Structures are given as structure tokens and as C-alpha cells.
């Protein structure tokens, strides 16, 4: 059993399909545009936050220890800036070497711990590797 449609009926089917598909396409394009705009805003916000933290860390040389420790651990969550964070923390560690090398210095231990986590290829593994702290070669 086949249904034969005349040219007028095919025209009605095409108009119905266009009427259904065009709003779906418009909705999909609007959704994609909104998602892309949100991602761009998120990247811009992350960029600004990261650079404010790095600036705060560099301004607080040997002062406000709790603030510095918080900044060091906060830098760890910016995974897209992982390589830059490693360079910043290594530079900070080298510039304050005598101050941070002391094993009792919690900031130095925090920096080594964060460097260990950032160097790990799998973010979860660093928690188990924490006993093997990152030894910075100066």
C-alpha cells in the first residue's frame, strides 16, 4: 500500500516541514550563540581573577603569610594556566629561596605541594603523591 501525493499535497508537506524545521534551527542557533558568549565571559573572568591573584602574590613579598598561602592554593584551580602558574611559583620560590627553604615554613611547603599537583598528569593522583613533595632545583 503506497500513498500517492499530488503536487499540491507535496507542497503542503514541504511548507509543514519548513514550518517545523525553521524554528528548531533558530532555537539551536540562539542556544549555541548564548553558550559561546557564556564561555567567552567565563574565560575573561578567569583571566582577570588569575592575574589579580598573581599580582597580589608578587606584592605580598614576605608579608601576610595566610594571604599568600591562600593565593598559592587558589592558583592551583586555574588548570588552563597550569604552565604559567608553575613558572610564577618557581620564580617566587627562587626569589625568596632563603625564606622559603626552611622546612618549618608553611608557605614553602604549600608552594612545593601545589607544584607537585600541577606537574601531575592526572589531578587526582597528586593527593596520593603528596608525601613525595616536589623538590625544586635551585
pLDDT tens across 79-92, in order?
888 888 988 888 88
Domain assignment of residue 135, yes or no:
no
Q: Indicate the number of domains in the chain.
A: 1
pLDDT tens digit sequence for 110-136:
888 888 888 776 655 544 444 444 444
Residue 34 lies in a domain: yes
pLDDT tens for residues 32-67?
999 999 999 999 999 999 999 998 888 765 567 788
1 in any annotated domain: no
In a domain, 122, yes or no: yes
Nearest to 95, CA basis, from 119, 122, 113, 68: 68
Pairwise CA distance, residues 24 & 41, whole Å: 26
Closest to 110 measured CA to CA, from 84, 92, 83 = 92
Is 138 a domain residue?
no
Domain membership of residue 134 (yes or no) is: no
Which residue segment(s) compose the domain that 29 sits in? 8-129
**Following CA atoms 83, 87, 90, 95 in sequence, which dihedral angle do they give, to the nearest 10 degrees?**
-170
Question: Is 80 exceeded by the pLDDT of residue 101?
Answer: no
Q: Is residue 3 one of the residues assigned to a domain?
A: no
Q: Is residue 136 part of a domain?
A: no
User: For residues 112 and 133, is the Cβ–Cβ distance under 8 A?
Assistant: yes
Residue whose cell numbers read 625564606 = 99
Cell 514550518: give the residue: 19
Amino acid at each position: 500500500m503506497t500513498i500517492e501525493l499530488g503536487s499540491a499535497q507535496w507542497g503542503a508537506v514541504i511548507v509543514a516541514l519548513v514550518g517545523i524545521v525553521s524554528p528548531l534551527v533558530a532555537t539551536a542557533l540562539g542556544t549555541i550563540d548564548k553558550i559561546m558568549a557564556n564561555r567567552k565571559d567565563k574565560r575573561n573572568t578567569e583571566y582577570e581573577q588569575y592575574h589579580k591573584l598573581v599580582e597580589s602574590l608578587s606584592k605580598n613579598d614576605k608579608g601576610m603569610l595566610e594571604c599568600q598561602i591562600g593565593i598559592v592554593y587558589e592558583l592551583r584551580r586555574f588548570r588552563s594556566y597550569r604552565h604559567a602558574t608553575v613558572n610564577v611559583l618557581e620564580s617566587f620560590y627562587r626569589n625568596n629561596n632563603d625564606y622559603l627553604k626552611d622546612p618549618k615554613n608553611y608557605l614553602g611547603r604549600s608552594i612545593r605541594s601545589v607544584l607537585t599537583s600541577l606537574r601531575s598528569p592526572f589531578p587526582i593522583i597528586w593527593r596520593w603523591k603528596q608525601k613525595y613533595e616536589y623538590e625544586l632545583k635551585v
